[in-house]
Amino acid sequence: MAKYVIKRILLMFFTLFVIMTVCFVLVKLLEPNEILDVTQAEREEAIREALGYNKPILVQYLIYWKNILTSFNFGVSFKIEYLGSVNDVIRDRLLPTILINLYALVFSVPVGILLGIAAALKKNRWQDHVISTVVMLFVSVPSFVYAFILQYFLGAKLGWFPIQMSSVASTGGYFTWEMFVSMVLPILALSFGSIASLARFTRAELAESLTSDYMLLARAKGLTVGQATVRHALKNAMVPILPTIIAMFANILTGSLIIEKIFSVPGVGGLYIQSIQELDYNVFMAITVFYTFIGLAANIIVDLSYGFLDPRIRMGAKK
């Protein structure tokens, strides 16, 4: 198991290195940024020289890696926050992204699992058909479509929630009730897909567990349907479901590019799009590395979680 973990981690960093290299080279082939502020021209020229902008791409890349490994420095922003640290720009955008995705996760996980359990217990009945139809609808339609529907009906027509997320200046902070109300629509838009995926997955796994031989044995021992379901079927069905939930937790930092843009969420997703639109290459590279690392780490966590949840599938386990 230890060899497998080390191998996966090494492959993760190798993949990250390859993606960073490709992105860095492609970015350097684009048209270079022009100096925007004449009064800051000398300072910007000094920063560009320190980053090796007047040297070959290979030298620039080595300097880029040196700054990351020695001081975790991804450079400065030349467009979004002029001559500001890229690390600070991203850090300021992390909190709203984490909050919205965390709220969506806390809401979608129990709802999705409960719907899946209800559909499995009522398999092939009208309750199962209704839940399956709703789940199929939620899975098939993109999240940005629900975002527009929620904005139109709950925001514009009924006026229950703001169409866009409120600013910190108007609400007094990210942890106020007014701010939470303004987050409801993006939270719902993000939750529909997760609810549908969890419900469908839970229904499939639990329905299979309910027809297993150990369930017949449990019923023969005198357990009720509810007791056998909770103690045995649900416990075994959660083994493949929990890694999915773990992956969802690991991805709460990444946010949603489209949803954040639609609801004007000042998060990492919107910052990524802004860095592309304004050609802020250093911010783009840093967020690309951020997204890539989170995605690769989530895959490793999911793979390893199977072994911890079910020791029978651990690599190198004694038979």
Q: What angle do CA 44, 269, 162 make, to 5 degrees?
A: 120
* C-alpha span between 291 and 272 (Å, rounded): 10
Cα dihedral 239, 240, 245, 250 sign: positive
Give the DSSP letter string of 268-291: HHHHHHHHHHTT-HHHHHHHHHHH
The pair of structure tokens assigned to 61 is 């890349």
Question: What are the tens digits of pLDDT across the range 66-118?
Answer: 888 888 888 888 778 777 788 888 888 888 888 888 888 888 888 888 888 88
For residue 107, give the H/E element and its range.
Answer: helix 86-121
Q: In DSSP terms, which residues pair with 77 in a beta bridge? A: 84
For residue 201, give the H/E element and its range.
Answer: helix 177-210
Q: In DSSP terms, which residues pair with 85 in a beta bridge? A: 76
| pLDDT value for 190 | 84
Provide the Cα torsion 153, 157, 158, 161; round to 10°. Answer: 70
Could you say which residues of the chain have pLDDT below 70? 1, 31-42, 44, 215, 218-219, 223, 225-227, 230-232, 250-255, 306-319
| pLDDT value for 11 | 86
Q: How many residues does the chain have?
A: 319
* C-alpha span between 269 and 261 (Å, rounded): 7
Residue 314 region, left (φ>0) first, then alpha (ψ -120 to 50), else beta?
A: beta
The pair of structure tokens assigned to 202 is 């839970």
pTM of the model: 0.77
Whose CA is closest to 275, among 75, 95, 78?
Answer: 78
| pLDDT value for 250 | 63
* C-alpha span between 140 and 134 (Å, rounded): 10
Provide the Cα torsion 244, 8, 25, 38; round to 10°. Answer: 70
| pLDDT value for 130 | 86
| pLDDT value for 259 | 84
| pLDDT value for 253 | 61
| pLDDT value for 252 | 62
For residue 265, give the H/E element and its range.
Answer: none
